[in-house]
Structure 1
Amino acid sequence: MLGFQNYEDLLTIVAWMYYMDEYTQQQIAEELGITRTKVSRLLSAAKSQGIVQIRITHSLPEYYVLEKELKRRFGLKIAVVAPEDRNLLGQFGAESLLRFISEHRPCRVGLGWSTTVSSMAPHLIRRNIQLSHKCSVYDLTGSFIGQRNPYSISWILAEATGAQYIPLAVPVLVENPSIKEEPSIKRALKEASEVDIAFVGMGCVGQESTLLKTRLVSKETMEQLEKLNCVGEVLMRFFDENGKPVRTPLDDRIVSIDWDAIQRIPIFVVMAVGKEKVSPLKAALKGGWVSGLITDVYTAKSLLGKAQ
């Protein structure tokens, strides 16, 4: 082509060739006798001057919009929003966890037992993931009713990935606090406090609390926790409406990593859904120690003030 009557003509021709005739930028450059770099600049100019107007006919998926807003509003590194289906929540959680393990080397993963975290189990069982790097899995808290309690998936993840498993094979709540000074327990807690990423559940305080329903704490103890203005717990560490740690009579008897460790973990992911979890989640996010959230559409909307 010998020339163009004006710059706008050139922009229009380049835009038409690229978007309508589906030429590559290199083909346009050869056809018009200009460089590929100039073609790229002309296409950018065509958009900025309104010669090209791109219209997407479908709205962004709701879950994607919610994930973006959760990250922006609360400064999260990870945000995953699933449909209101516990099986899909477990699937999405497992996929996020396995993606992290595959991409980070070496990798130390810490897990807390909870009904929500355990929803990942069906999506980890019978998996055989070949890692090219070492990985280790740690219990962040003592067992509930034995090493392989129904809410713990640490051993399942370790088997699925061929990772080393470092258990905390003691009750989460002990009668004699001195047990935490035993060398093996002390070492396991220290190593657990140095994980790269943690996946934990979140408990509420009150009649809907899993701790109360499973009789891990008594009704009287729960009432005492409410009087101390506790609104939620992670790894049996309690916090108030501002996400600040609350000292409780249970602290000395609890076998789990402490608040200093929780706040040092680079990526601390909470898996939680449901109306009763909204208040503790808001508090935890306000506290600033949650860096990842896996939840469902209803809970995400509630956190963002968009629930109907």
Structure 2
Amino acid sequence: MAVNMYNQSTFLVIKIAYMYYIENYSQNEIAKILKISITTVSRLLRKAKEDKIIEFVIRDPYVGCISLEKKLKQIFGLKDVIIAPGVSSEMGEEECLEDDEEVKKLVALEGARYLQRIIKENDVLGITWGSTIYQLINFLNPAQKVDATFVTLHGSIAGFRNELDVRTLVMRMAKAFSGKHYCLFTDALMSSKQVADIIKQERNNHVVFQMFENINISINGTGSLYPELNSILAKPEFMSREELRSLQEQSVVGDIALRFFDKEGKECQTELSDRIISIGFEQFKKIDTKITIASGVYKAYTILSALKGKLIDVLIIDYQLGMEILRLHNELDQSD
């Protein structure tokens, strides 16, 4: 029987693969231990793949995330989609987390890592309030320093938790990156358009409103007002029943940066719009990279509407929410 003198020892291929992938030796260390060259180690690792001695398997729940990401990215023309699987890596089985806060933390972690991948010096980031943004900041690596600028996209929401206030969040995020921060030192909702116009012209606030033009990245959550009134902004602490009714008459479905929009992602025009201290709706749309971070299936219709209105460039969500957005899209598409 003819034997190819250039055939490598199968055992050596197996041993190198085991040392590299299981025992976590570096290629340099393997070369020294086995007294072979680094190029031989690299070549035999490739052979282990080619001969299927080793195979890489991504389990089904995680493959589903990649498939969903591709579909959402293609359908809505997004720059990026990040899907948190909604399973805990510490669980022995692919068990879905039913705790909304745990799912939110998974999404926030993905948001933090994404932000740290894309942020660069001289970026100007607009930030909104919210519990998901709060969690995102908790996951930021304080060792990553970037000379960027962080700006509040709106005023404060009176009567709600201070740690979720947009000013607190912007200061914390700027501190995490060792960047600069600018804040609107005012409540978000004024009693009249006249008062709002005066507040906007105060020196500090005027500077922030001018900076809105320089924002190239926004990071925001989204409030949901359809099919149920889940947004905190729908509570009487923020707006009256009459103001809410006015929005509902225009079929409001959600808000981003305290700007309310309908099922097509268009701004709901009421006198409330003139009284809010926030970046303008059309001005927000011009931001180059608008990142929306959300969790919870109940936000599907709101997110879908924002996608229709081109209010989102990068979507970071959990798997269940993503699947519901896709289902709603397909359902509405078939009914048209």
Bin the TM-score by the shorter chain.
0.7 to 0.9
* Structure-1 separation of matches of 2:208 and 2:76: 32
Structure 1: unaligned runs, 5 residues or longer = 1-12, 23-54
Native 8 Å contact 2:285 2:311 kept in 1: yes
- Partner of residue 50, structure 2: none
| Bigger fraction of residues in helix | 2
State the one-letter code of the partner of 2:325. L
Q: 1:148 to 1:197 in 2, by over 3 A?
A: farther
- Partner of residue 229, structure 1: 251
Native 8 Å contact 2:158 2:237 kept in 1: no
Q: State the Cα distance separating 1:155 from its structure 2 match.
A: 1.0
Task: Pick one of 116, 133, 137 that aligns with 1:98.
Answer: 116
Q: 1:121 to 1:213 in 2, by over 3 A?
A: farther
Native 8 Å contact 2:68 2:322 kept in 1: yes
SS of the residue corresponding to residue 190 of structure 2 reads coil
C-alpha offsets along residues 83-123 of structure 1, whole Å, 9 cap, x if unaligned? 2512211111111112221xx33211110112222221321
Native 8 Å contact 2:250 2:268 kept in 1: yes
* Structure-2 separation of matches of 1:110 and 1:186: 15
Q: State the Cα distance separating 1:145 from its structure 2 match.
A: 3.8
C-alpha offsets along residues 243-286 of structure 1, whole Å, 9 cap, x if unaligned? 11221221111111101211110011111222331111111111
Q: State the Cα distance separating 1:191 from its structure 2 match.
A: 0.2
Task: Pick one of 129, 154, 164 that aligns with 2:144.
Answer: 129
Structure 2: unaligned runs, 5 residues or longer = 14-54, 87-96, 98-102, 331-336
- Partner of residue 66, structure 1: 68
Q: 1:208 to 1:106 in 2, by over 3 A?
A: same
Q: State the Cα distance separating 1:143 from its structure 2 match.
A: 1.6
* Structure-2 separation of matches of 1:69 and 1:185: 41
**Number of residue pairs the alignment of both structures matches:** 260
Q: Does residue 1:299 correspond to 2:321, yes or no? A: yes
State the one-letter code of the partner of 1:158. A
- Partner of residue 8, structure 1: none
* Structure-1 separation of matches of 2:174 and 2:310: 29
Q: State the Cα distance separating 1:128 from its structure 2 match.
A: 3.4
C-alpha offsets along residues 32-88 of structure 1, whole Å, 9 cap, x if unaligned? xxxxxxxxxxxxxxxxxxxxxxx9765662222222222111111121111251221
Q: TM-score under structure 2 normalisation? A: 0.69
Native 8 Å contact 1:142 1:255 kept in 2: yes
Q: 1:207 to 1:148 in 2, by over 3 A?
A: closer
Native 8 Å contact 2:159 2:237 kept in 1: no
- Partner of residue 34, structure 2: none
Q: TM-score under structure 1 normalisation? A: 0.75
Give the root-mean-square deviation of aligned CA atoms.
3.1
SS of the residue corresponding to residue 324 of structure 2 reads helix
* Structure-2 separation of matches of 1:148 and 1:305: 34
SS of the residue corresponding to residue 246 of structure 1 reads coil
- Partner of residue 45, structure 2: none
* Structure-2 separation of matches of 1:212 and 1:146: 13
SS of the residue corresponding to residue 289 of structure 1 reads coil
Q: 1:121 to 1:57 in 2, by over 3 A?
A: closer
Native 8 Å contact 1:139 1:192 kept in 2: no
Query: Percent identity, aligned pairs only?
Result: 27
* Structure-2 separation of matches of 1:141 and 1:58: 42
SS of the residue corresponding to residue 126 of structure 2 reads strand
Task: Pick one of 177, 181, 190 that aligns with 2:201.
Answer: 181
SS of the residue corresponding to residue 294 of structure 1 reads strand
- Partner of residue 265, structure 1: 287
Native 8 Å contact 1:77 1:292 kept in 2: yes
Task: Pick one of 81, 84, 91 that aligns with 2:83.
Answer: 81
Q: Does residue 1:155 correspond to 2:171, yes or no? A: yes
